[in-house]
């Protein structure tokens, strides 16, 4: 494979060019992850275990130099200064890395579209193992049944239903604080 130049990001600026590196791809294991509706790269526990990632690791995150649209993200584990790296954070049954602004500026609309990526290990330098996250399938993100508009409609229905009840029941439904018999 031909070498790929990688442009790295830092958490503070999310837009500036940081460093460049030369990479050589040697894919061995192919697993998947996804991008959440809040702009986080999400990796399952199983994926973390199969890739032998250290859960409390910090990563340099980058894309190919000269590319505007994100097609692949590169994660390289590092022990460098925490101000230039991103932390892998445990969330329930998965791990995530927050990259909302980087993804947004890279042309990924994670709020409306569900993205799935495949993970391929590679060695950018001798003895260093990194991960290439290639964007794959995408599908419209299904809205939860209680979106903002739906929540307002549910509240309105509840209020109108309570307004037709006798005052004592209305007071009991709204809370124990006060009873008014008007």
Distance between CA 6 and CA 164 in Å, rounded? Answer: 64
Distance between CA 72 and CA 61 in Å, rounded? Answer: 11
The residues with which 64 forms a beta bridge, in sequence order, are: 6
Tens of pLDDT, residues 154-179: 666 666 655 555 555 545 555 555 55
Tens of pLDDT, residues 30-50: 589 999 999 999 999 888 888
Three-state DSSP string of 86-124: EECEEECCEEEEECHHHHHHCCCCCCCEEEEEEEEEEEE
Residue 6: band (very low, low, confident or very high) from pLDDT cuts 50, 70, 90 = confident
Mean of all residue pLDDT scores within the chain: 76
What is the reported pLDDT for 18? 43
Q: Are 16 and 7 in contact (CB under 8 A)?
A: no
Distance between CA 101 and CA 40 in Å, rounded? Answer: 10
Q: Is the pTM of this model over 0.85?
A: no
Whether residue 15 has pLDDT greater than 60: no
DSSP letter assigned to residue 55: T
Tens of pLDDT, residues 77-105: 888 778 889 988 888 889 999 999 999 99
Q: Are strands 20-23 and 40-44 parallel, antiparallel or unpaired?
A: unpaired
């Amino acid at each position: 494979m031909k070498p790929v130049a990688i442009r790295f990001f830092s958490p503070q600026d999310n837009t500036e060019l940081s460093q460049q590196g030369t990479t050589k791809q040697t894919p061995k294991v192919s697993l998947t992850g996804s991008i959440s509706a809040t702009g986080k790269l999400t990796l399952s526990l199983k994926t973390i275990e199969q890739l032998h990632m250290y859960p409390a690791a910090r990563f340099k995150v980058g894309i190919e130099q000269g590319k505007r649209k994100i097609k692949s993200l590169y994660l390289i584990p590092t022990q460098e200064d925490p101000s230039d790296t991103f932390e892998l954070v445990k969330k329930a049954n998965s791990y995530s890395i927050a990259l909302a602004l980087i993804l947004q500026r890279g042309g990924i609309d994670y709020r409306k579209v569900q993205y799935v990526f495949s993970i391929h290990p590679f060695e950018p330098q001798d003895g260093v193992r990194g991960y290439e996250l290639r964007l794959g399938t995408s599908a419209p993100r299904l809205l939860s049944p209680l979106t903002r508009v739906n929540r307002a409609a549910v509240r309105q229905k509840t209020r109108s239903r309570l307004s037709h009840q006798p005052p004592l029941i209305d007071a009991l439904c709204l809370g124990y604080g006060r009873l008014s018999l008007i």
